[in-house]
Structure 1
Amino acid sequence: MRRSDWNKIKEKLSELHDELEAKDLVEHLYEKDVFSDDDKERILLETTRKDKAKRLLDILRTKELQDGDVYEVFLVQLRRTQPHLADMLKPPGRARRQRAAATESYNIRNLDTDQLCEFLAPLLKKNNIDEDVLKTMKQEKIDGSVFLTMDRSSMKEVFPDLKFGERTKILMERDEFIESGKLQTGLQGDVMSVERRLQEREYARKFDTKTGCTEKYKKGKILENLQTRPGNMIDPTHYCITFDGLDKDSALEAIGWETMKFASACMNDRTNGTVHFGVYDGSDTDHSHGEVLGITLERKDCEDTIVKSIQNCFPSDQQDVASECIHPAKYVDVIDNKEVCGYILEIDVEPQERLVKDQAFFIKDQYMKPRQKGSGQKLFRLKSGAPDDESADGVYQYMSTKSTLDEKRKDAEKIYVAKTAQGMNMLQQLRMFLCDGDTQMGDIYPILVISPLDKSMSSQEIHARFSFIADFEWVCIFDFDPEGHKTGIYEYLTEEQKMAFKLMLTDDFDQRGCEHHEAKSRDDKLNEDMESSHLKPWIFCNGFEPLENQVWEFWNGRKREVKDLKKQ
C-alpha cells in the first residue's frame, strides 16, 4: 500500500481499532485476493475483536495488487460491511485524479526522438536487434508521430541494413503495444506506466560493498532493486528518504534521526538494511518511488551527525554495538548531463547475531527537550520497510519473542555462510582444473592491464585504491590510458612512488613492412632487451604523447639530415 494511502488510515487508526469488525471484512478481502489463506488465519486466530482489527490493518499495510489499488479495494469492501467507517476515511484522491488528467493529455505523438529511442531500446534488446537502429532514428529525426506512420516500405528505406524479419519485429512490437493498450495513440492509456518505461533504470549499490570509482547514479533515474522481502534477514530492506526544502541544519537532523530509527528497527528485527538519502520514497505522484534526486550537504557534516546521533540516541551500554552494526557512510555520485550535481548517502545496517543477541534496542530523540512530552525511549520495528515505533502492547510482545528472532538470524547467517562456502568450492574446482591437482599453477607471470581512470578521482583516492600495485613484481604492464602520464596510474607510480619503467609503444612490436627474418631478429632483440633490463616494460597500447613526440622529433631530424646530404 502506498504510504500516502496508509497515512489516511493512520489518521483514524484509533477509531478503526475500536470499531472495525474484522471477521466479515477479512472474508471480502480474501475473495478479492488481497489476503492469502495464511493472512486470513493469522487475523482470525487473534482472541479479541480489537486484536483482529489491529492484525488486519497491520497486514493490509504490506499488501500490493498487480491490477488494482489496495486502498481502493479496502474502502469498497469496508463500505459493504461498515459504511460509516468508510465515510470517515479519505478517498483515494489526488493520485488517481492526476493520473486520469494526465491520461487524457498524453499519447505516443508527444514522444520526441530521444524519448522514443529510450522506449524502443529494451524492445530491440529483447529481439536481439542492433542498437544502431536508434542512431539512425536520431540522425533521421524520427519522433513518435513519424514512427506511427511508418510501414514496411518506409522501414526498408530508412533501415536498409536490417533484415526483413528485424524490420517486421519492430513494427509488430509497435502494433502490439497499441492494441494491448500499453501505449495508446488516442485519449486512453496509462501515462504513468509509459513514463516509467521511459525512465532509465539504475541498480543500487550492492549491500556492504565499497563505492566503485565509476559507480554513479543518473539524476531522475529509478533504482531498480529496492524490493523489500519480508522475513528475509540477509537480503537488505531499503528505506528511501528525501528532504527537499529543508535548510542545512534541518536536513542534518533528518539524517541523524532517520538513520537511528531505521538502524534500531533493523537491529530489533535482526534484518540487514540500507537507508538511501536523496532517493524518493514515492509518498506522492510528483516523483516515482526509487527516483534518484541527490543531496549536496558536506560529507563530513553527515558523518559527524551520524556519530553524534549514535552517542545521543542509544544507551551508553549499546553504543559500541550500534557503531558496529551501522556501517560507515557510502557516497554514490549523482550525475546530470555528465556533470556531478550531488550524491546519494547510503548507510548499511548489519545486525549480526553475535552483536544483537538477547538485546532490545530503545532509542530517544536527541532533538527533543528532556521534559518535553513524548521524549521517552522508543522501540522501533520495520513495517512495510519503514521504521515505526511500537505501542506498549507491541513492546511487551516483542520482549517475549525476540529470542525467536535471534534463532532465525543465527540460522539465516549459517545458510548464507554455507552458500558462500559453496562458491569457494567452485573456486577450488577451478584451481584443480588449472593446476592439475597442485596448489598453484607453477610459474606465475603477473601481468597488469590498466584502463583510463575516472577523471574526477583525486590523488588521495588514487593512492587509497591503487597503492598496492607498487608491491607487485609485474612482468609487464599494458596501459590503455593515453593520458596516463597526466592523471593516471603511470603518473601516480612515477611521481608519487618514484618508480621507473621501460617505456614502449605497440608500434615497437609492429611487424608490418619487415621481412620474416628481419621480424624474427627484431623480436629476439626486443625479448633480450626486456629480459636484461632491470626496468619493467610499460607498454602504452593507445599511444603515449611524450614518447610519440620524441619519435616525431627524431624522424624530423633524420629528414633534415637527408636534405643536407642531398645538398652536399
Structure 2
Amino acid sequence: MMADNLMQSPENWTESQVSTWLRTLCVKEQYIKKLFEEEVNGLVLLTLDEDSLMTKIGMKFGPTHMIIQKRNELFNSKQNSQQNAKPTRSKKTKLQQKNNSKSLHCLASSEVPSGQVHARDKCASEESQTPQQPCILTSKENCKPRPFDQEGIDLIYVKHRVLQPESGAFDLISPCHEFKSFAIAAELDRTRLQAKFAKEVLKFATGCMNIRSNGTIHFGVMDSKEDTGYVHGEVVGIPVKDKDIYVDALDDIEKCFSTDKEHARHCVRPPRFIEVMDRESTAKNYVVEVDIVPSVYILKGKVHAVLLPNFNEAANKVQYEKKAILRRVGSKTEPVSDSDLSDFFQRVKERDAQREEAEKTLVLSTPFCQDLGRKLTMLITSGKKFIENDKWFIFITNKFKPDDLSNIEWLLNMKILSVFDFDPDSKISGLCSKYLEHHAANMHSLQSYSKSSDRSIKGFTEKLHLFEQTSWLFCNGRSGFKANETPCDEMTWIKTRMTLLMVYVSLICKHILPKGSLQVIFLLTSPVEKPLLHTFYGFFTEMQGHTDIICICESETNFQRWQSFAEEICGTETVNNFSVVGMKMSHINATMQMIQPVKACAKKHLPVFVKGTCLLETNREEHMASLEILTVAKKHLPVFVKGTCLLETNREEHMASLEILTVNHCDDTSKDFINEEKANIEQQFYRGGRVTWMNFWLAEHKYVGEVIERDAYQDVSKLLMDVLKFPL
C-alpha cells in the first residue's frame, strides 16, 4: 500500500507522501513532523539542499546528507524509467541539470553519530532495492600550499583544487602536512568547536615537536576518510563566523602541557585564515592553517607529553584525556608505545643533532635574477624592437601609491583604448587625475558604458569616441561624482556589477577589436580583491586564451593572491611566463620608454645656461614647429632585475668623483671621433697608462684589436673567479 502511494512522480507528492517517503529512510519523527509543518511537498523537496535542511529545519549533517542523496537517486531512477519508456525524449529538467553539475556525496560512517549508523543498518535491505548512483568525479587541478611560516602572505585557495597528499617528516625543515575536513565541527557551538580544534592542533603539534619536524595542519581540506565525491587533499573550506574562536582555542596550551608551556607556545604559531574562492558561490569560506616550528634551541633535550582536550557530552564540559607522548609516524600522529618509550627517550640527543644540522644547512639561496627588463620588453613588443603602432592596450588596475604616480610617463605614451579602474578615488588623487593632466579621457561607470540593442557597433564606438580618446571605466564607484556612484564590498560587487563588466569585456573582444590587435595589461599596484580576479577570468574566457594578457606587479605579496587564482584558470607555467613580478615602477617606466617610438616621448629636456636642463613641454614644442630642436638625451642605468632606471642630473652631480657609464652612454659616438681618438687611447695604454672603460668598449665593438693581457691579468682573473665561487 505504501509503495503504491509513492508510485507517482515525486514532484507531484503531497506533504503526507513526502512524510511517508522519509519514514522509509528511517528519518527521525521530529524532523518529519517539522518538514510537514513547513509544507514541504514533492515540488519543494526537489529544491531543498543540505544548507536549508540544516539551518531551517535544524537537522544534523548525517540525515541531511542521506535525504539529499536518496532524493537524487529517487529522481534519477524515475527519470531513467521515463526515458526508457519514451526513448525520443531528450530534454532534461532543471533539477537533472543541477544534479549532473555536482558530485554526489556518500557519507562516511565515521562521520555519522552512532544512533544514526544503527538506523541506517536497520534500513539496509530497503536501500539495497534502490540502485546506487555512482559519484561523479571531475578532473581537479593541483595547487601549492601557503609558504611555510611567513608573515604578510596574502593569497587565496580556489575551491576544489588539490593540495599534495598528507606527508610525514622528510628533512625536518620541509613541513609535514595533515588535513582535516572539519565540516561538521565548524558548525558546533563555541565551546565544542574550540575543544575539537585545540585537540587536533595540539595532537599534531606534539607529534611534530617530539620528532623535531616542521609541520602544517590544514582545516577545510578533505582527508583520506572522506567521501569518494572528493579527493584526498581537496580544498573545500569551512565557514568561520568568528576568527577569535580559533585563535583563543589555543589558550588551552596552558592546560594541556603540565611543563614547558612556553616552549609549546613558541612552537605553535597562531592560526592563519586563507580565503577559499568559489566562482559558483558568494559564500565566504576559509582554510584554517596552523604552522608548527620546533626550533632546536627551544626544545633541545625535551620530550613533550600532552593532555588533549575533549568535550564530554555526558558531563557537558571539556575534560582532558590521559597524558600521552606522541610522535609523527608517516602521515599520522600516534602515541609512543610503552615498549618503545625507553628507546624514544634515549634518541632525543640524536633527534636534536639532526634538527640542529638541518637548521645549519638551511641556506637561504639567492633568488634567481631573472632578466625582468628583457621579459617585459618581449611581452609588450612580441619580440620586436619597438611597440607596434597599430596595437591597442587595455589596462586593468587598482589603487596607485603616490610614489608610483611620479613614474607613469610610459603610460602617457601608450595607445590606450580603455582603463578599467578599481580605485574609486582615482579621479581625485589617483592615476586618472595624473593622466588627465596630459590627455583627455571619457569618464564612464559600468551602468553608462553599455550598448543598447538597437545601436550598431559602429554607432556605439562613435558615440563613446572609443578610438579618439581613452575611455576611463570606473568599475567600483567614483568618489566626488554628483551621480553618487559609491563603491561596494566584494560580494555586493559580484552580485550587482560583475555582469555589467562582463558584457563590456565581451563587446570589446568579440566585436570592437579583432584578435591580435589588443593587449590586456593587469597593472597590480595594491592588494588584489575578487572583482579584479573575476575580470581576469572574463578577459581570459572572451580572448580564448592568455596570449595577449600580461600581469605586471611589483609586490610579491600582491601577486601571490592573483597567482593562486590565475593558476587555476591557465596553469602555473603560463602564469609565470606572462607575469612580470618584482620590478619597481620607476624601472618599468624607464624600460618601457626605451621601446616606445621616439615621437611618443612625453618629456624632452633642453640644456640651459647654468648647465642644468629644463623641461620642454609638448605645447611649447608645437609652437616652434619650424625649428629642429636638439634635446638632451636621458641617461639610463641598468638595475638588478636587468631593466633600466633613469639617472637624474642632480643624482649624477652628487657623485662627481665617479665616472658613471650609462646603458646608452656611447649611442651617439660618431665614427669620426673614434678614428681620431683611438690611436691616442691605445698609445697611452701601451705606455703603461691606466686602463679605462673606453679600451674595452673599443675592443668589444671591433674598432681596435683584442685587449693585450698584461702580467697582472692572471692574478686579477684568479681573484675575480674566487669571488664568484665564494661570494661574501
**Normalised by the size of structure 1, how large is the TM-score?**
0.43
Q: Which has the larger radius of gyration?
A: 2
**Normalised by the size of structure 2, how large is the TM-score?**
0.35
